[in-house]
Amino acid sequence: MPPKRAAFLMWNEDEECRDLRKFLENAGVVLDIRDLTKRPFTFDEIDKLVGHLPLEYFLNSHSGSFTRYHLDQEHLDRDNTIALIAKDPTLLRQPIIRTNRLFTVGCDRKKICEMLQISPNGKRPAEEEKDESQPPPQPTKAAQ
């Protein structure tokens, strides 16, 4: 079976993103990493990513920019908010993990594992099958 591939989009490799990235790589997922501080999204890329979903799903309410731009107010103007995200990637929740058909935003390992169809214990599927089918090793005479 070919390895699973996913885009891993982030603006800052903080500890949580670094741990998640390592977890996914150890599970055999091939990641195409895009650092949004070095290669930011364009307006059109964000618009396409968001699609018809609510913008709130993508916004990082813990970002200092969130309150500075008054995104904590009642109604968000879609085009203005997308323009702000294009200008300031810290407004995005991270990471965004995307496959050809699906994506998830944030570090919810359970959702990510379901989306990528990998085990939440971090093992590659082949390793997991091996663990379940093989009895525990028996000690040899030399080890006794």
Domains belonging to the chain, first-starting first, are 5-133 (3.40.30.10)
Residue whose entry in the numeric block shows the structure tokens 């085009």: 79
pLDDT for 72: 79
* Overall average pLDDT of the 96-121 stretch: 92
In the numeric block, which tokens belong to residue 15? 């500890």
How would you classify the pairing of strands 103-105 and 96-98?
antiparallel
User: In whole angstroms, what is the distance from residue 61 CA to residue 56 CA?
Assistant: 9
Where would I find the H helices in 11-108? Answer: 15-26, 43-50, 64-68, 78-87
If 0-12 CB within 10 Å is exposed, 13-18 middle and 19+ buried, where does residue 131 land? exposed
Cα 110–Cα 53–Cα 57 angle in degrees, nearest 5: 50
CA separation, residue 34 to residues 15, 28, 57 (Å): 17, 18, 20
For the cut 60, the answer to whether the pLDDT of residue 111 exceeds it is yes
pTM: 0.76
pLDDT for 144: 46
For the cut 90, the answer to whether the pLDDT of residue 128 exceeds it is no
User: In whole angstroms, what is the distance from residue 11 CA to residue 38 CA?
Assistant: 8
Summarize pLDDT for 12-50 with one digit per residue, the tens: 778 899 999 999 999 999 999 999 889 999 999 999 999
